[in-house]
Chains A and B, each alone.
Chain A
C-alpha cells in the first residue's frame, strides 16, 4: 500500500515538472536571501565584537551562509532535472542519480530546519558574552592612551548613544568603576585625595556617568555628576527622576536587538524550509510518476506517483533490514572463508 498515491496523466506530469522548475528557481532566490541574511548577521556581530570580548559564536551566521549556498546549488540542479524530466532521452541520464539526490535533499531539509531552530536558541550564549564584554569595555573606558584599548571609550560612547542605553545593567554600574583617567585628575585637590582614600583599591569613584548616558528627551539639561546628591541640583530628586539618563542597560538593549534580528531570520528560514519541503515532495512525486511509466515509448499513458512505496512502518522495517544485511555482509567479509555459511537474513 503506497503512501499518498496520486494518479498522473501526461498533462499532469508536464504541469508538475513545469511548476517544480519555477519553484526551484524561486527557491534559488530564497537561498540567496538566506545567504544575505547570514552575511548581514555576521557583519553586525563583527561590528560589535569589541563589546562581546571577541569570543562570540559565529555559528548561526556561518550556517545560514552555508545553507544559502547549498540551497542555491541544490535547487538549480533540481531545476535542471525538472526541465529535462519532460524529455525522455535527457531524463535517462538523470535517472540513476535521482534516488540518492532525493535522499540528499531530505537530509538538507533536516539540517535547514535545525539551523532555523538554532536562530531562536542562540540568545542564551550571546547574553553571557555580552555581559563579560561590556564589563571589560567599561573597565577599559579610561584607558585612552593604552595601545590596544584606546578605542574603547569611543566604542562605548557611540554604543550608548546609538542603542539608547547606559552601563551594563543600568547607570549605577558606572559608579563602581573608575572611568576618569588619572591623567585628568588634579591630585593636589582635597576632594580627589579623599575619594581615592575612601576605597581599598585607591580608585577615583564618582557618582557620575559619561555624557553618552544622557537622554535627549529630558526636559532639563543633563545631570551627569553628583547623581545621588539631591541638594547638588535645584529641584532634583534622584529617586523619581526617570528621564534624565537612559534607564535601560546596554546588555538588555543589545540582546533585544540581536534577539529580534535572529528571530526574524529564524522565521524567514522556516518559511524557506517549508518551501524546500514542498519542492522535495513534488520532486519525489515526479520521480515516482516517471518511474511508473510502464512503456517508455507511449508517453501518453497514465502512471501513479507516491511518496513511499509501502507504508511508513513497512519502509522503516525494510530500511532496518537492509542496514542489518549491510552490517552482516561486512562481518562475513571480515571473517573470510572461516565462517563457511553466510547467515540468511530473515
Chain B
C-alpha cells in the first residue's frame, strides 16, 4: 500500500508550496479569464460571419467549449488562490478543507476534460472551415441578387460589407462574379437586345456579365474604378486586363476569411494550452498540499514532517478497495476518475 509519488513536506517547504501555489492560482485565474474573453471575441466574430459559413460547419462549437473551459479554469484558479492563502492560516483553513476535496474532483474531471476537448477542437476544426466557407460564400454569391426574397434579402448588403471591410473580391478572385447572375432580373430591360442575347447564351438562362459589384473596387487604384467589361481589352483606354493592376481587390474572400478565422483559432489554441498547463500544475500542487495537511490532521502549524502524495495506494489496490466498497454511494468515484489523467505518471512508479 505504498503511496503514489510521495513527497516529504516539512513546514518550510509546505509554506513555499502554498505561496507558489497562490501565485500560480492567480496566474491560472488570469489565463482562464483571458481565454474566456478571447473565446467571447471569437464567438462575436463568428456571429458576424454566420452568413458565409455553412450551417453544417462544426466550427461554431469551438468558442462555446473554450468559453466553458475558460470559466472552469477561472473558478479553479480563484478557489486555488483562496485555499493556498487559507492553508497558511490555521484559523481560516477548516472551511476550505471541506471544499478542497470536491474541487479537486471537479477541477480534474470537468476542467481537465473540457480543456482537452477544447484543445482538440482548436486543432481539428480549422480543417472543416475550408468546406464550410466554400459552401457559405458560394450560396451568398448566388443569392446576391435576391434582395426581395425573404431569407436571402440581406445577402447583398452583407457580401458588399464583407468585401469592403476585408478587402477581397469573390470567392477565389474577381472572376467568380462572371459566373453568377448578380444583377436582379427586376432591373433588366426585357426589350434590350444585349440582355436577351446574354440570357440566351447559356443553358440556365442567367444574365452573366464580365463585370463586378462596386464593393470589389480597390481605393488604392490611381484611376477611377473599372467595374464593367473587364474581359474586353478595348473597352477602356489604357487598361489591359491581362496586366495585374490595382483596380480591384486581388484576393478572394475565401482565403482572407480562412486566414482570419484560422489565426483566431490558433491563438485560442495556444491560450488553451497555457491554461491547461497551469491548471495541471495547480491541481497537482493542491493535491500535494491537501494530502500533506491531512497527514497533520488539520493542524497547520505543526512542525512535524508529513508526506504529500498523489494517491494513497497504487492503481490496482485502489480498484480493489473500490470494488470491495462497491455498495457505498459514490465513494469510489473520486478514486476512479483521476486515473484517467494520471496513468502516464503511474506507469513508471508501478513498474
Q: For window 173-216 of chain A, which residues contact chain B by CB distance below 8 Å?
A: 179-181, 183-186, 210-212, 214, 216
Interface status of B331 (Cβ within 8 A of chain A): no
- Majority secondary structure, A binding face: loop
Q: For window 14-71 of chain A, which residues contact chain B by CB distance below 8 Å?
A: none
- A216 and B238 contact, CB distance less than 8 A: no
Interface status of A158 (Cβ within 8 A of chain B): yes
- A211 and B214 contact, CB distance less than 8 A: yes
Q: For window 146-178 of chain B, which residues contact chain A by CB distance below 8 Å?
A: 147-148, 153, 156-157, 160-161, 164
Question: Among B130-138, B223-231, B315-323, which stretch is in contact with chain A?
Answer: B223-231
Interface residue from A144, A185, A186, A212 paired with B222 (Cβ < 8 Å): A144
Assuming A211-B217, A222-B213, A234-B187, is B223 touching A217 (CB within 8 A)?
no
- B183 and A221 contact, CB distance less than 8 A: yes
- B225 and A210 contact, CB distance less than 8 A: yes
Q: Which residues of B contact A211 (CB under 8 A)?
A: 214, 217, 224-225, 227
Complex Cα distance, B164 from A154, in Å, reads 13
Complex Cα distance, B186 from A216, in Å, reads 17
Interface residues as binary, A292-317 with B (CB distance below 8 Å gives 1, 0 otherwise): 00000000000000000000000000
Assuming A220-B184, A234-B188, A234-B189, is B161 touching A181 (CB within 8 A)?
no
Q: Which residues of A contact B236 (CB under 8 A)?
A: 184
Q: Which residues of B contact A216 (CB under 8 A)?
A: 156-157, 160-161, 164, 215
Closest to A161 in B: B164
Interface status of B348 (Cβ within 8 A of chain A): no
Assuming A185-B237, A221-B213, A234-B189, is B183 touching A158 (CB within 8 A)?
no
A97 to chain B, nearest CB (A): 42
Q: Could you tell me how many residues of chain A have their Cβ less than 8 Å away from some Cβ of chain B?
A: 29
Interface status of B220 (Cβ within 8 A of chain A): yes
Assuming A219-B148, A234-B188, is B224 touching A184 (CB within 8 A)?
yes
A183 to chain B, nearest CB (A): 7
Interface status of A157 (Cβ within 8 A of chain B): yes
Interface size band for B: 20 to 34
Complex Cα distance, B223 from A145, in Å, reads 10
Q: Which residues of A contact B148 (CB under 8 A)?
A: 219
Assuming A153-B222, A216-B157, A219-B148, is B237 touching A186 (CB within 8 A)?
yes
Complex Cα distance, B219 from A216, in Å, reads 16
- B224 and A161 contact, CB distance less than 8 A: no
Interface status of B182 (Cβ within 8 A of chain A): yes
Q: For window 212-240 of chain A, which residues contact chain B by CB distance below 8 Å?
A: 212, 214, 216-217, 219-222, 224, 233-235
Assuming A214-B214, A217-B157, A221-B183, is B224 touching A183 (CB within 8 A)?
no
- B187 and A220 contact, CB distance less than 8 A: yes
- B160 and A219 contact, CB distance less than 8 A: no
Complex Cα distance, B214 from A180, in Å, reads 17
A57 to chain B, nearest CB (A): 29
- B219 and A235 contact, CB distance less than 8 A: no
A234 to chain B, nearest CB (A): 4
Q: For window 134-169 of chain A, which residues contact chain B by CB distance below 8 Å?
A: 144-145, 150, 153-154, 157-158, 161
B261 to chain A, nearest CB (A): 22
- A157 and B157 contact, CB distance less than 8 A: no
Q: Which residues of B contact A145 (CB under 8 A)?
A: 222
Interface residue from A161, A181, A224 paired with B219 (Cβ < 8 Å): A161
- B214 and A222 contact, CB distance less than 8 A: yes
- B222 and A157 contact, CB distance less than 8 A: no
Complex Cα distance, B150 from A265, in Å, reads 43
Residue from the set A186, A216, A235 with the largest chain B CB neighbour count within 10 Å: A216
Complex Cα distance, B189 from A220, in Å, reads 13
Q: Which residues of A contact B224 (CB under 8 A)?
A: 179-180, 184, 210-211
- A184 and B184 contact, CB distance less than 8 A: no
B45 to chain A, nearest CB (A): 20
Given pairs A161-B164, A179-B224, A219-B156, 11 additional interface contacts (CB within 8 A): A158-B219, A183-B223, A211-B217, A211-B225, A216-B156, A216-B215, A219-B147, A219-B148, A221-B182, A221-B183, A222-B214
- 22 A-B contacts, Cβ less than 8 Å apart? A145-B222, A157-B219, A161-B164, A161-B219, A180-B223, A180-B224, A184-B223, A185-B237, A210-B225, A211-B217, A211-B227, A216-B160, A216-B164, A217-B157, A219-B184, A220-B147, A220-B183, A221-B184, A221-B187, A222-B214, A233-B187, A235-B186
Give B contacts to A, CB under 8 Å: 147-148, 153, 156-157, 160-161, 164, 182-184, 186-189, 192, 213-215, 217, 219-220, 222-225, 227, 236-238
Give A contacts to B, CB under 8 Å: 144-145, 150, 153-154, 157-158, 161, 179-181, 183-186, 210-212, 214, 216-217, 219-222, 224, 233-235
